[in-house]
Amino acid sequence: MNTLNRRARKTLLTAHVATSVSWLGADLVLVVLGAAALSGRAPDGLYPVAALIGDWLLLPLTVAIWLIGVANAVLTPWGLLTHWWVTVKLIVTTVMLGLVYLLLTPGLRQAAESGAELAREDRLNMVVAPGVSGALLIFLIALSVFKPWGRVRRAAPR
């Protein structure tokens, strides 16, 4: 279903790239805040900032990128389940959305409440989780650039 004109497709693609880069930036900021707090630099002040970034920036960006990505796939020739790279991006982004909603943002809120009392393992998770998220986003960006694996289903011969 290719219903968008060229300008609308480019606008949608721009929104997709902008939200993706913003999500990656938010992850990098969370890695820096988590690493600083892990090293003992004012966890009582850093974790509340991280929680605000999670609630007010990361969570809305995650939902936006998922919605824009689906719209981009459905309203352009790429299709939602037509090409493997798009399908993999959909699956990974859906899993990441669930993890951000169910684990990361609640973990950030708990870290904000606990501050310096947060267990070392949980402090380490405040660095690892956004680090893994950032790495997955770079993987998704690479998929968008290289578009590997071809179509999900080959067209049947006539």
User: Whole-angstrom Cα distance, residue 14 to residue 141?
Assistant: 13
> Which pLDDT belongs to residue 2?
60
pLDDT in tens, 139-152: 999 999 999 988 88
- What's the Cα-to-Cα distance from 9 to each of 22, 41, 75, 77, 110, rounded to whole Å? 20, 45, 8, 10, 40
Has residue 158 been placed in a domain?
no
Whether 48 is covered by a domain: the verdict is yes
pTM: 0.90
**What residues have CB less than 8 Å from 89, skipping those under 6 apart?**
69, 140, 143, 144
Structural domain includes residue 156: no
- Does the residue 130 lie in any domain? yes
Q: What confidence tens digit (pLDDT) does each residue in 62-117 have?
A: 999 999 999 999 998 888 899 999 999 999 999 999 999 999 999 999 999 999 99
Look at residue 153 and tell me if it is in a domain: no
151 domain residue, yes or no: no
CA dihedral 148, 93, 81, 11 (to 10 degrees): -90
3-state secondary structure of 41: coil
- The answer to whether residue 40 is domain-embedded is yes
Residue 68 maps to a domain = yes
Domain count of the chain? 1
Range of the domain at 87: 6-146
